[in-house]
Structure 1
Amino acid sequence: MSVIIERFTKATKSHYELLLDADPSRKVVDSYLSKSHCIEAKVGLKVIGVIILLPTRPNTLEIVNIAVSNDFQGQGIGRILIEYALEFAREHEMKTVEIGTGSTSVGALYLYQKCGFRMTHIDKDFFSRHYDEKIIENEIELRDMVRMSQDLC
């Protein structure tokens, strides 16, 4: 399988299906898309993954959304996207890459740590404060965000 990684500027229905799988609020997703570097993973013409990179503080890039199609999960696509993001950050002279994920997102926590991210803190009740509806993941109500980062220098 040949995976192509490239930037996109206009989110299509295929992009939104993935983006909203990782972040269920269209309002939140729309709030960061126009300010971000948007990257897609494709096999042929099919979009199978996305990663959204938002410059935040000076020399800091945050991965604000990453998602891989269910049919392609477990095949290393997420890791490829994260490695692309880290290289992108280095090329743009960033010093730190950050990412946040739900405290109930065990698969994501595992992947991010395998890719070199370290936990920095817990943002208690993040999802309760920012989302109108409860989010249930792995049969647990998602309330807290685990913040992680990786220094590139």
Structure 2
Amino acid sequence: MKNVHLEEIIMNDREKYLDYLLLADEDEQIVKQYINEGDMYSISMDGQLVGIILFVYHQQRVVELKNLALVPEWRGRGIGKAVLQKTFDIYKGMEKIIVGTANSSIENIAFYQKAGFRMTEIRRGFFEKYAKPIFENGIQALDMVMFERNL
């Protein structure tokens, strides 16, 4: 998708995008713990801001996709897939990308597998530390399902 554009967000401007990050991670205190880490990009479509993506670095050439948030009315149009393709190019010097999503995020689980990610582990009880319970698809988010994709 050629009209999807990523632009890096400098550290001093990140707080302005908090509401976008909260679309993908509902606990504001948790988001504030990582908002100033790694690389953050705005996602634009035809000049309109439609989302945010944030990556943090790990040891041994591993980067984690920490937050990918698209405004609801822009979902299901192939934008997320196009963004992932662009970030695979950005991080091609890394060994792999990892990402986690809630056990209740059925759409996300399918999305990452379609993008070539493989399940690697379950982090039991990960979402129990969140201030409020999260429910999606009639399922409580309790565990984090981790995926990875070699670059």
Does TM, scored on the shorter chain, surpass 0.5? yes
Q: How does 1:132-147 map to 2 (within 5 A)?
A: 132-147=131-146
Q: CA deviation at 1:3?
A: 2.6
Q: How does 1:34-113 map to 2 (within 5 A)?
A: 34-90=36-92, 93-113=93-113
Q: CA deviation at 1:17?
A: 2.1
Q: 2: CA distance between counterparts of 1:119 and 1:27?
A: 27
CA contact (8 A) 2:120 2:148 kept: yes
Q: 2: CA distance between counterparts of 1:40 and 1:95?
A: 24
Higher relative contact order (CA 8 A, sep 6+): 2
Deviates more, 1:46-55 or 1:35-44: 35-44
Q: CA deviation at 1:11?
A: 2.3
Q: 1: CA distance between counterparts of 2:80 and 2:15?
A: 20
Deviates more, 1:26-35 or 1:102-111: 26-35
Q: CA deviation at 1:46?
A: 2.9
Unaligned runs of 5+ in 1: none
Q: CA deviation at 1:44?
A: 4.8
What percent of counterpart residues are identical? 28
Q: 2: CA distance between counterparts of 1:20 and 1:89?
A: 24
Name 2:14's counterpart in structure 1.
11
- Residues 19-55 of structure 1: per-residue CA shift (max 9 Å, x gap): 1011112222121121210011113553101110100
Matched residue of 1:11: which SS?
helix
Q: How big is the alpha-carbon RMSD for the aligned residues of Structure 1 and Structure 2?
A: 1.6
- Residues 97-123 of structure 1: per-residue CA shift (max 9 Å, x gap): 000001111111111011110000111
Q: Does 1:32 align with 2:28?
A: no
Q: 2: CA distance between counterparts of 1:2 and 1:95?
A: 28
CA contact (8 A) 1:52 1:64 kept: yes
Unaligned runs of 5+ in 2: none
Label 1:123 to 1:25 Cα distance change in 2 as closer, same or farther (>3 A).
same
Q: 2: CA distance between counterparts of 1:78 and 1:106?
A: 15
TM-score normalised per structure 2? 0.91
Matched residue of 1:24: which SS?
coil
Q: 2: CA distance between counterparts of 1:140 and 1:23?
A: 16
